[in-house]
Structure 1
Amino acid sequence: MTYDMGTGFSPVATFNAPLREVPQDPMPAADRRWNNVVGAVEYYVRHGVRPDKLVLGTPFYGRGFRVREAGPDHGLYQPCESAFWVDGYDEVQRLRATPGWTEHWHPVARSPWLYNAAERKFVSYENPRSIGIRARYAKDRGLRGTFMWNSATTTRGTAC
């Protein structure tokens, strides 16, 4: 499972499935090391699981956070007050087309996010670009393959 790295239990708005460790993430370094796609795969390989036995999961839903203040970095790593779901890529596209939402890309996490400063809402999701990067990583690393997870089968929560 290489998603749900940032959840409603995260104290800050963060990525659902960052590709790599982001040094600016306020999570303790010992935890941050494994809390990303590459880190999760390497954890299992380091503990004896062959890469060809691993399948990389990609979320096909968005993870949203309402941040306490409209601070710097377009909501990223800002303290949050609640969490919410974005059900699938169609809803992400609807948000992208709604005035007030801006799209951003993180060069290390290799993930997009949306931010609405007026509503203080941050949404982490995957798009065709980030999904392609993860599929290429799985192939290059010799993993068995990839799979996707849709939020329709996932329990929802609002903690933060």
Structure 2
Amino acid sequence: MNSPRFLTMLNAVGCLVLGAWVVVQWLREREADLQADRLRAGLAEARALADAEATRRAALERDIAVLKDAVGSTQRSAEESARGLAERDGEVGALRAELDTARSRLAEWEDAVRARDRRIRELESQLAEARKRLVEAVERLKTR
């Protein structure tokens, strides 16, 4: 068993086994490297996606803040409009009351003017009668 040929064969088989072992290890390492590359690519993709989502989240938060400000501004504007409308309603009510008062006073004045005109006509007719009597009296005095 110690023949050189046996040792050479054993050495050749050992070299083949070691070569096969090296090839197997190299294939495993290559597969592990490919898997690591895929994992790194997946990690990079996940990080890019996370960054994109973070950017989107920040944009949405800004949009929400702007919308909150807009809603608050709209609410304040609506409240101011409601207050202004209430004030104008009060003013309209006061103006209507003044208008009604003015109309009633105008009606009173119109009645007073009509009464005055009637009184003036009565006085004119009385004056005309008095003038007529005065003329008649003067005529009687002249004829006497």
Q: Report the TM-score range of the alignment, normalised by the length of the smaller protein.
A: under 0.3
Q: TM-score scaled by structure 1?
A: 0.14
**Which structure is larger by alpha-carbon Rg, 1 or 2?**
2
More helix by share: 2
More strand by share: 1
Which has the higher relative contact order, 1 or 2, with Cα contacts under 8 A spaced 6 or more apart?
Answer: 1
Q: TM-score scaled by structure 2?
A: 0.15
